[in-house]
Structures are given as C-alpha cells and as structure tokens.
Structure 1
Amino acid sequence: MPRKGMRSICFNSKTSSFSMSRYSSPARNSISTGTPRRSFSESLIEQSIEAATVLINKWNPETSTYAKVTSLFYESKSEAMQFIRCVNDLQKSMHAMVIENSTSEKLVHAQNLMQIAMKRLQKEFYQILSMNRAHLDPESVSARSSRASARSSISDYDDGSVSQDDEVRNVGDSIDEVEEVSSIAMTDLRSIAECMISTGYAKECISIYKIIRKSIVDEGIYRLGVEKISSSQINKMDWEVLDRRIKDWLEAVKVSMTILFNGERILCDHVFASSDSIRESCFTEISKEGATLLFGFPELVVAKSKKSHPEKIFRVLDMYTAISTNWIEIDSIFSFESTVTVRAQALNSLNKLSDSVRTMLSEFESTMQKDSSKSKIHGGGGVDILTLTTMNYLSLLADYSNILADIFADCPPPPRSSLPESYFESPSTDDSPAPAISMRMAWLILVLLCKLDGKVEHHKDVCLSYIFLANNLNHVVSKVQTSNLKYLLGEDWIAKHEEKVKLFSANYERLAWGPVIATLPENPTATITPAQAKEIFRKFNSSFDETCRKQSSFVVADPKLRDEMKVLLARKIVPSYREFYDAHRSNVVGERNVGITVRFAPEDVGNYLSDLFFGNNNSSGGTSVSSSYSLSHQRHSWSRG
C-alpha cells in the first residue's frame, strides 16, 4: 500500500472514529457550557498522544540501545499487547484530529510516532518469523491444525474420568509444548499484521512475510528433490535416473499437499485473516512458483522420446494417481483466482499423462501384433516369452484398474466384432471398474492368444502344438486368477478358458498316446495264443518306447497341470497294461529272449510316465524358470516405489 505524505488510513471512512467513551465521565454534563467541546476533545487526544509517546519512544531502536537489542514480544507479552492497543488508539486519535480540525503540529507529531511504532512492529514481525522457523514450518503448522481438530473432537466425548498412561501423557505434553510455541507465534504475527494493515502499513508487513515464507517453500521444494529441469535434460537421462526422479516426485507430491502447501495456506490464512486480498496475494506469491514447478514435472516426463521402456507406463500411472488422488486438496489449497495457473498446470499434466497411457497401451498392442506368427516354438512347448511378458504386464496394469477406468472412460472400446459378445457384459461384482477397461484387457489377451495360435498353425508336430497351447493358455488363466484381472474379466471368462486348457490337453493325449493305447486289446484278459500275446507285447514296446522318446523333450511348466496330465495318462495306460501283463506274461516266459519281448513291467510304465514333461534336459525347463524369475524380478522393480 503506497504512502503519500499522511497515511491514507487516517482518512479512511472504514476506520472506526476515535472513541470518546473510554475517556467519558459522569461529570461531563456538569462542565460549564462556556468551555468549548473541541478543547475537551483535544485534551483527550493529547492524553492519547502523550501515552503513545512514552511507550513508543521506549521501544524506539533509534534512540534506545535497550530497544535495539531486545524483542518487545519476547520481553513482555503484556507490554507488547499494550503497545498494540496504544498504536490503535493513536490511529484513532489521528483520525479524530482530522475531524476536529486540530493543529497540524499535533498531527505531524502523531504521524512521526506512528512511523516509529511501525518500524518497531516491522522489526518484531521479522524477528518472530525468522526466530520461529522451526515452529512455523509447514509441517508443524499443518500438524498443529490437525491435532487441534482432533483434540476438539475428542473433548466433545471426554468426561475427564479416563486417565492416560504416563507414556502417552509425556508424549502429549511434548506435543502441547511445541504447539504452544507455534500457537503463540501465530497469534503474535496476526496481532502485528492486523495492526499494521489497519494503520496503512500493510506493504511493509507483506513484504517481510513474502520474503521469509517464500524462501521456506522454495527450500522445501528443493529438499524434496524437485528442481527446474528442461525437456532436453529429461531426454538425455537414462531410464534408471529418470525412474529415481519420478520416485522422488511422487513422494514430493504427497509431502507437498499434506504438509508444505497445506501448512503455508493455514499459516497465511491465520496471519492475514483480516484481509482476503492480502491472504490471496501473499499465498500466491509464496507458493505459485514452487507449485507450478512441481506439477509441471509429469508433462516433461511424458514428452520424453517416444521409444521408452515398457515399465514406464507404471510410473506414468503412478504420477496420474498422485495428482488425481490429491485433486481435492489441490483445488482447495490453490482455490484463489490468482492461483488458477497452478490448477491449470496440474490439470494439463493429468491430461498429458492420460494421453501417454493410452499411447503406450496402443504401442504395446502394436508390438504384440507385429510378433511373427510363424516363429518357432521353443522350450519343448513351454510358456512362450511373449506370454510371460504380456501377462506380467497386464497383471500389473490390473492393479491400476480404477485409474485406467478413468483414463479410458471416454475412449471407444475395441471393435465389437473382434470380441465374443460375453466380453461386452459387465463383470458381476458391484465394485468392478468400468466395462471399458475390462473389455480392453480382454481384447489384449485375445490378441495374445491369436498370436499363440499363429505360432502353431504351420508347425509340423501337432502334439507339440497342443502342449504349447495348453501351457500358454494355462499360464494366462493362472495369471488372471492370481491378479486383479480376475475382477476385470470375471469368473465366466476363467471357467471358459480353463475348459479350453483341458481340451488342448485332451487333444494332445489323444494324438500323442492314442497309438500306444491302441496296441492293447479292449479286453486285456481275453484268451489269446502265445504268438498273439508276443505280437501285442512287441507293438506296445515299440509304440511306448517311441512315444516316450519323442515326448521326453516336451515340457509342462505348471506343476499342477503337469501332474493332472500324467495322472490321466497313467489311468488310461497302466491299468490296461497291468491286466494284459498279468494275464499273458506267462504265455511268453518260455520264449527265447523273453526280456526283449516283455520289456516293461507295469511299474516301469508308471515310472516312465511320471518322468514326462520335464524336458529331456534342463535347458527347456530352465529357460522357463529363468524367464519367470527375471520377469518376477521386473515386477518388483515396476511396483510403485
């Protein structure tokens, strides 16, 4: 507020006029009518000025060494409050002098006193702000406000009959002591601010406040790891470096919204409660730069070169979550019209993050589509690397289902003709996310399954193809069951695909082991000649040996599925062979080279079957295990913080 000679506040119609009631007496009506009323008013004004002269000069740092080195508010709180009242009375007296047309000398003297008093209060305001940085830091202020509200709520129900443990009491006493210092400092600042504002010295008060408090906010933002950085610098960063910066930013948002900016808003609202415009001006100048820097970071991250690590999407989702979950606080703390740019920056970053997520999911789908459909089946028909990476990716994405539902709320769903009608039905659970994200996840899995079908379409070994399909679809179903994909796709989806796994297994069994089963007669105990028995043994030996040798390279990655397939095979082969073996082995005992004729005992058949689906060496199974470990490790590295 500019000064032009006499403070404009002296002529402010909003300033209450000099109160005569404090100096009135019952004898007032008995005063001689010959005494001018103005002289009586002037005498009261003179008394006010004289009282102000004594107290204000006592604390004039220009004339008193004591006043120069001593703090009024720390030395004597009662005298400090008296000083404030004295200044307020002096201001009222100055206003009254203008009305009463007093001599200019008195007005000049009062104005000089006012300037001395304002310098004193300006000094006190600075000292309280600077000396109480620890108690007026945003954390203490915001915590004090929260605890005060909590104590207020508790006191409504506390009848004083419940005693506290000593430990709890000691902690409470410690907190109360800290709160007391903070509360006193805030009260003193408010008293000084209201006095300076009401007397026309708001500019000096505001200037001090902005300088000190802005330095605290800027330092806080820097300590949280947020600093000014250009998009070119972001583009030059390795992903590992950028990932650490994003983690720091996520923590910075949480601390900033609950402590830093929240505490500053509380303090500013309290100190300048008497003026809405000053509150807005101070808080905007203190916080705007730091907040804009904070909420501008995500926009720089998503502008990084298009070619990025797959795990980047999870960090982008984390940043989206950080802003969206704090949006109510952002809108409340930065509610002033002058802080609209902060809200706009946060909203712009939110939109950029949304666009980035949609783009990255589209790129992910495109990468799957480009996978060669005729590529060789590796690992003895085990789980394909495309299946492993895709399902790990989607299962992690499912943890963000609510956020993704917001991001894709206005996006068109996958082409309806590309998905079964059941995919367009909402999951049965009431708390499931929007159908849009459920359909998108179903669509991405369908793309994966189509690519897997393409891998086996031209493969010569049909048995291996069915093992491959059973392995991969079983892995898909397993990842769905053990992640939030379960709630997105629903129980019906799981049940239908479990049936498909059983169908693939049954087709493998029929094609691979059907010829072995066919070598045994329908009635194993029927009477036959020794020559016929010998021929059946020979055919069984040859078929079983050849099939075991061929199938020994096949692998079933999932232990449960592996055991189920072996049990089913054993039930169809071993009992029939045992019956035939027990019934006809004696018929060929006298034959030469009986060991060649009857090569397998029933127990041998069972043992050979139990050794199936591990692969003929550790390379196939090892690849799957190694891949699973690697991706499991990535899962932890992609998790949120």
Structure 2
Amino acid sequence: MQEITGEQHVFAAARHIMKALGATKNLSEDLRKILKDLDSHLSTMTTVTEGKGGGLIEIEQRLKYAERKVLSWELNQSMIWDSGPREASEFLGAVNEVETLTKSLRGSSMNANRKQKEIFNRAESILQMAMSRLEEELIHILVQHKQYLEPECMSFRSYGEDVVYDESFVSLDDQSVEDASHRNSSGNHSEVYIVDLVHPHIIPDVNAIANAMFASNYGHEFCLAFIGVRKDALDEYLVVLEMEKLSIEDVMKMEWISFNNEIRKWVQAVKIIIKVYLSSEKEFCDKILGNFSSVNLYCFVEISKASMLCLLNFGEAISMGPIRPEKLFRLLDMYEVLAELLLNVNELYSGETGSFIRNEFQKLLWRLGDTAKATFLEFQNAIASNESLCPFPKGGIHHLTRYVMNYVKTLTEYVDTLNVLLKDLDAADDSNLVIEPENGQNIPSIFCPMACHLRSITCTLESNLKKKGKLYKDYSLQHIFMMNNVHYMVQKVKGSKLRLFFGDEWIRKHIGKYQQHATSYERATWSSVLSLLRDDGNSSPISKATVKERCRGFSTAFEEVYKIQTQWSIPDLHLREDLRIANSLKVIHAYRTFIGRISAHISDKYIKYSVADLENFLLDFFEGSPKSLRNSCRR
C-alpha cells in the first residue's frame, strides 16, 4: 500500500510540473504537443496504478474505442488519407491512444495480473495492425504524389560536336572543330537546384505518419518503406534520363558511336542527378526525418547508393578501356564534371555514413584523370607513328595536319583541366614553369604545362610531315607540300586561342619556314627553265638557229611545268595568289627581257607564246585540275 502511495505522489508531482510548464506563454506548438502527450501517458499510468478493477475497465474501454477505429479501415478498400483530413486525424488519434496505452501497460507489466497482461497483448496486436496500415498509407502517398523534373529544363554546360578519331586521321574537319569549341559554362559550379520531388502539400501528412511510427518504435519499418519508394523513384528517373544499367563488359564491347552517345548522356545525367535530384532528395529527407537525425543520412544514402554506384561503375568501365586518342575529349568531359561535383558529393554524403560513396567518387575522379593524361600522351605517340606509303595527292594539306591542329585547337577549351593533369609531368623541367599573367588576369600562358605539350605535339607533326614530303619524287612538290601544311598550322594558331599558347615568336618562326619553302619551290621549278632565256654574255651576235632552239626549248619546258603544276593544289586562296604572283614576277620579267632581246633576230612566228599568254597560263597553276598546252598555238 505504501509503494502505491509513493507512485501516486510521483505522478501528482509530474503532472503539477507539466501544468506549470503549460502555463508558459512562449512554448512552441511542438513542445505543447509533447506536454499534452506526456499528460495523457501519465493519466493512463495513474489509472493503471490505481485500478485494480475500475481502472482497467476504463483502459479497456479506451482501447476498444481505438480498436474500432483501427479495425474499421481493415475492411475498407479506400486509403485513409484519400478520404480526407478528418479521417486521417481520427485514425492518428486512435493510433496515438493505442501507443500511449501500450507504453503505459508495458511499464507496469512486471507486476501485472492476468487481465492486465491480456489487455497489453491486445493493445500490442492493435498497434501492429495500425503500423502496418500506416506503412501502406505512406507508400501510397509517396507514390501518388511524386513529381519528376524535366531534363530539358536543365541549362547546364552544353558540349560541342564530337571529335572523332580513326587510324587515318581523316575524320576531324575544320567545321566540326569550330562547333566543338563553343562550350558554355553554367556559372557557379557548386550551385544546386532544389525542386519538389513530391508535392509539398503531403509533407505534413508524411511527417505525421513518421512521428506516429517512430513514437511506436516502428521507425525501422518506416525507413524501409520510405527508402523503397524513394529508391524506386530514383531508378525510374534514371530511365527518364536514358541511363541504362550497363556492365563493364557491355561498355567494353560498344562501338564508338554508341560509346560516345552513352558518355554524353552520362555527363548530363550525373550533373542532373547530383546537382538537382539528389540535392532535392536530401532536402526532402531533412523535412521528413530531420527530427530523427540518427536515421536521416542513413535513409538518404540507402535511397541513392545503388543508383550512384551504377553511374560510377559506368565511369569505371570507361577508365578501364583501351587508350585511344578519340576518347580524350569525352574523358575530359567526364573528369571535369566529377571535379565540378566533388564539393556537392562531399556535402551530400557527409560523415561516416556517406564515406563509402565519397571515397568511390574520389577514386573514379583520380582514375579518369590518369586515363585522360595517358590518352593525351598517347596522342603524340600516334602522330609520330603515323606512316604513309604513298605521297599525299596534289601536295595539299594532309589529313594528319588538319586532324592534329583541329585536335589541339579543341584542347584549348580544357586548358585548366589539362594544366592540372599535366603539371606533374612538367615539374622537372624549369623551362615549363608557369608565369602568372600581369594585372591578375587569368590569361593562358605560353609557359603553362599544356602549352609546352602542344608545341611538342606540333613539333612531332612537323617531323612526320618532313618524312611524308620525301615520298614525292619531284623536289618542287616536296616544298609545295611542306609550304601548304606549315601555312595551315600557322593559320590555325593565329586565328584561335592557340596563339596564346604558342606565342608570336612561334608564329614568326613558322611564317619564315613556309616562306622559305615557297622560295625553294621557285628555285627548284624555274632555275633550269629560265636558264634558257638568259643572255650568254657574249658580245658577238646570237645566231638565228640558237634563238629558235631556245624558243622551242623554253616553250617545251614551260608546257611540262604547266602540265604538272596545274595538277598541284594550294587550298588557301591567299597563299595560292601570292605564289602565282611570285611566279609571274620571276617568269614574266625574264621572258619579256628575252623577247625584247631576240625580236630583231627572228620572226614572231617562231615565238609560240606572248607575254600575255604566259601571264594567263600562270593563273592556272595550283588549281588541282590537270591541263595541257601541248597542242595549243599562239593566241
């Protein structure tokens, strides 16, 4: 009897304290609710303690009322929350009543009689039934009210046209690289975009279910249901983004077009998933599970882990593939997007719970960086090893030259990334030290790691072109070929960001190179031909027969040059005109002088071509279409 009186004093004191707290004006709504629930719990405990008979009857009546409310929905096919807020509130009230009674009965079950134990077991059964129903309601609400964002509305960086490589270096043209160079950045790299993945109006309902289930020690069941629904929603969204679950073997077997398309989709999907979807999912988890911090991050990680690992496994497969130059731009895209998202991932997957995803993400970033670096270096090896068995037609711009210069031009769009990746390779070379631009401007320097490698690549290209030039039997055509290709290199550097990496000194040096090839061409082509027009220096009159022979010899030699060099090609209009003018100055001056010197000795009929004829003929040179003067006569 004394023990019971002591418990009654404790309950009375506790209720007095709660009453005093309840009178405080500055209490929040959440705290008032807690005090109300605690008062109800103490009331039940008092009833149990006092009631050897009447108290248990009151508890049983309260339990029956709550039981009727719970059981009424067991036979009802409709969903509680679809039936309106009143029904949902009444059901939650019944659940709260059962939960309160169960806890109170559990607290006194050690000394309970048979009747009290029966009521306790009955309350436990009703509570389990109610929790099962709340789990169904939770799943229904989350599924019915999920929302998807449209991928088209995301304005992230857009990547340019593809840079495609093959063994003959013929697939990268000037137009495609112009398109590929327009890569736009989307502002703050760590910025996230929060959207509603479920309709906002259901958040209070989900919170109410969470509070009821956690209060009844069914938090684990809530988490399993919550994780399952949200995980399925993320899987469905990956399908919307057209991301297939591919094995490493699947990726390895892909043709280049499919491979390239999958990487493009992956880059876009990773940005949307991390910057938008998972950031929004994390905020949703915070709203629902913020009061249960011990499980909040766990649920988020479990929701997203499988999908994140699927995305990371694709990147892993890419990094494991063979090293080929055509992959470099896609590898750099993948590396850049992971580097950009690293801070976001560290924030999303904080603490020990998220450490596995953080570590896997960081490992993939390192692997892609190593693979991109190896691919960059392999590109130079591929240039050096590219061999030709036959001379390039017409002495024009070789496919290798176009490919390499357009390739390195596109690389300038990745200068920051490549400087990071190539920095260690250049650290031992003092000539490659980076010099900071003046006035704090972030301008690419000719001394940065990437610039040193680009100049090395073009040096390798020049060496290869010299070998290809030697395949021509005609010495003049060797110089036309080298002039065309070095001129193309200079124009690519002068007309793009490459100028910042190569510098004016490189440009001046290579302008001198192609001009020297032009001079060497003139000498090789015209020295022997124009020697027929020179004055021997003898004071004695030249014989008519000698004059006729020289006229015939010059005409024949010029016709041969004309036949051959009209087939040759100088694609650049200005370069072609410059060389035609140089030819004209050299040939026409010598021919006009010769005609003036011999006109008094022979008749015009022995002079096959006039000065005007030669001027017109020289305009046909380097058009790339063969012509002949063999059967022509004087115009």
Partners of 2:91 and 2:257 lie apart in 1 by 60
Alignment map for 1:374-385 (pairs within 5 Å)? 376-385=390-399
Report what 2:624 is aligned to.
615
Cα shift at 1:242? 3.1
Query: Which residue number in structure 2 is paired with residue 360 of structure 1?
Result: 375
Partners in 2 of 1:236 and 1:560 — Cα distance? Answer: 47
Cα displacement (A) at 1:192: 1.7
Q: Deviations over 1:335-357 (max 9, x none)?
A: 24223222222222222222222
Alignment counterpart, residue 21 of structure 1, candidates 19, 22, 34? 19
Match of residue 68, structure 1, among 62, 72, 76: 76
CA deviations on 1:17-58 (whole Å, 9 max, x unpaired) are 897529999xxxxxxxxxxxx999836998996996577335
Q: What is the letter of the counterpart of residue 618 of structure 2?
A: L
Aligned residue identity for 1:509: E
Q: CA 1:312–1:212 in 2, change beyond 3 Å: closer, same or farther?
A: same
CA contact (8 A) 2:563 2:626 kept: no
**AA matched with 1:315:** R
Residues 347-386 of structure 1, C-alpha deviation per residue, up to 9 Å, x if partnerless?
Answer: 222222222222223333223333459x553323222333
Do the aligned residues in 2 keep the contact of 1:317 with 1:400 (CA within 8 Å)? yes
Deviation of 1:471 after TM superposition, in Å, equals: 0.9
Q: Secondary structure at the match of 2:143?
A: coil
Shift of 1:121: 5.3
Residue 597 (structure 2) pairs with residue 599 (structure 1): no
Cα deviation, residue 574, structure 1: 3.4
2:366 equivalent to 1:351: yes
Could you tell me how far apart the structure 1 residues matched to 2:94 and 2:374 are?
67
Q: State the partner residue of 2:575.
A: 561
Partner of 1:510: 523
In structure 1, the residue matched to 2:423 is: 409
Structure 2 CA distance for partners of 1:414 and 1:376, relative to 1, 3 Å: farther
- Structure 2 matches for 1:160-309, cutoff 5 A? 182-222=199-239, 224-304=241-321, 306=322
- 1:394 and 2:408 aligned: yes
2 CA distance for matches of 1:39 and 1:564?
105
Matched, 1:430 2:442: yes
Amino acid of the residue matched to residue 216 of structure 1?
Answer: A
* Conserved 8 A contact 1:48-1:93: no
Taking structure 1 as reference, are residues 49 and 138 closer, same or farther at Cα in structure 2, changes over 3 Å only?
Answer: farther
CA distance, structure 2, for counterparts of residue 560 and residue 616 of structure 1: 18
Moved more, 262-271 or 454-463: 454-463
Alignment partners' CA distance in 2, 1:608 and 1:390: 35
Alignment of 1:474 with 2:487, yes or no, is: yes
Distance apart, 1:411 and its partner CA: 2.5
CA distance in 2, matches of 1:66, 1:411: 71
Deviations 1:179-224 (A, max 9, x none): 7981121221122212322332212211221222222223333554
Query: What is the match of residue 525 of structure 1?
Result: none
- Offset of residue 610 of structure 1: 1.0
1:450 matched residue in structure 2: 463
With over 3 angstroms needed to count, the CA separation of the structure-2 counterparts of 1:320 and 1:219, relative to structure 1, is: same
C-alpha distance 464-414 of structure 1, shift in aligned 2 (>3 A) = farther
SS in 1 for 2:483: helix
Instruction: Indicate the residue corresponding to 1:463 in structure 2.
Output: 476
1:130 corresponds, among 140, 145, 152, to 140
Residue identity matched to 2:360: Q
Distance in structure 2 (CA, Å) of the matches to 1:201 and 1:576: 105
Q: 2:32 — aligned with what?
A: none
| 1:120 and 2:150 aligned | no
Greater relative CO, 1 or 2 (CA 8 Å, sep 6+): 1
- 1:325 equivalent in structure 2: 340
**1:282 shift after superposition:** 1.3
| Contact 2:576–2:622 (Cα < 8 Å) also in 1 | yes
Instruction: Number of aligned residue pairs: give it.
Output: 540
Instruction: Quickly say closer, same or farther: Cα 1:258–1:107, change in 2 above 3 A.
Output: farther
Residues 1:181 and 1:553: Cα distance change in structure 2 (over 3 Å): closer
Distance 2:419 2:454 in 1: 11
- Aligned residue in 2 for 1:10: none
Letter in 2 for 1:21: K
Contact 2:451 2:502 (C-alpha < 8 Å) held by counterparts: yes
TM-score for the superposition, normalised by structure 1: 0.70
Distance 1:120 1:612 in 2: 94
The Cα shift of 1:111 comes to 7.8
Q: Distance in 1 between matches of 2:44 and 2:129?
A: 31
Q: Is the 8 A contact 1:48 1:89 kept in 2?
A: no
Q: Are residues 193 and 49 of structure 1, via their aligned partners in 2, closer, same or farther at CA, if it must alter by over 3 Å?
A: farther
Q: Residues 373 and 422 of structure 2 are in contact (CA less than 8 Å); yes or no, is this contact kept in structure 1?
A: yes
Task: Write the letter of the residue equivalent to 1:564.
Answer: D
Conservation of the 8 A alpha-carbon contact between 2:569 and 2:622:
yes
User: What is the Cα deviation at residue 435 of structure 1?
Assistant: 0.8
Partner of 1:626: none
Q: Is the 8 A contact 1:48 1:90 kept in 2?
A: no
Structure 1's 368 and 66: CA in aligned 2 closer, same or farther, altered over 3 A?
closer
For the Cα contact (< 8 Å) 1:334–1:343, is it kept in 2?
yes
Q: Distance in 2 between matches of 1:508 and 1:569?
A: 10
The residue type equivalent to 2:443 in the other structure is D
8 A contact 1:470–1:505 mirrored in 2:
yes
Native 8 Å contact 2:203 2:288 kept in 1: yes
TM-score (norm 2): 0.71
Query: For the residues of structure 2 that align with 1:48 and 1:75, how far apart are their CA atoms?
Result: 30
**Distance across 2 between alignment mates of 1:49 and 1:350:** 62
- Cα distance between partner residues in 2 of 1:21 and 1:83: 27
Q: Once the two structures are superposed, what CA deviation does each residue of 1:109-157 show, in whole Å capped at 9, x if it has no partner?
A: 57855763564355245324334425324649xx9xxxxxxxxxxxxxx
Q: What secondary structure, in the 3-state scheme, does the structure 1 residue paired with 2:443 have?
A: coil
Deviation at 1:404, TM superposition (A): 2.0
Asked if 1 retains the 8 angstrom alpha-carbon contact of 2:487 and 2:511, the reply is: yes
1:479 Cα shift? 3.0
Q: Closer, same or farther in 2 for the Cα pair 1:51/1:507, shift >3 Å? A: farther
Q: Please tell me whether residue 56 in structure 1 is matched to residue 73 in structure 2.
A: no
Instruction: Specify every segment of 5 or more residues in structure 1 that has no aligned partner in the other structure, as ranges.
Output: 1-15, 26-37, 144-177, 523-527, 619-641
AA of the residue aligned to 1:238: E
Give the superposition deviation at 1:472: 1.1
1:188/1:616 CA distance change after superposition, 3 Å: same
The share of aligned pairs that are identical, in percent, is: 24
**Residue deviations 1:584-621, cap 9 Å, x none?**
68635xx45x33x3222222112111111123549xxx
For 2:267, the aligned partner's letter is L
Query: How many Å apart are 1:243 and its aligned residue?
Result: 3.2
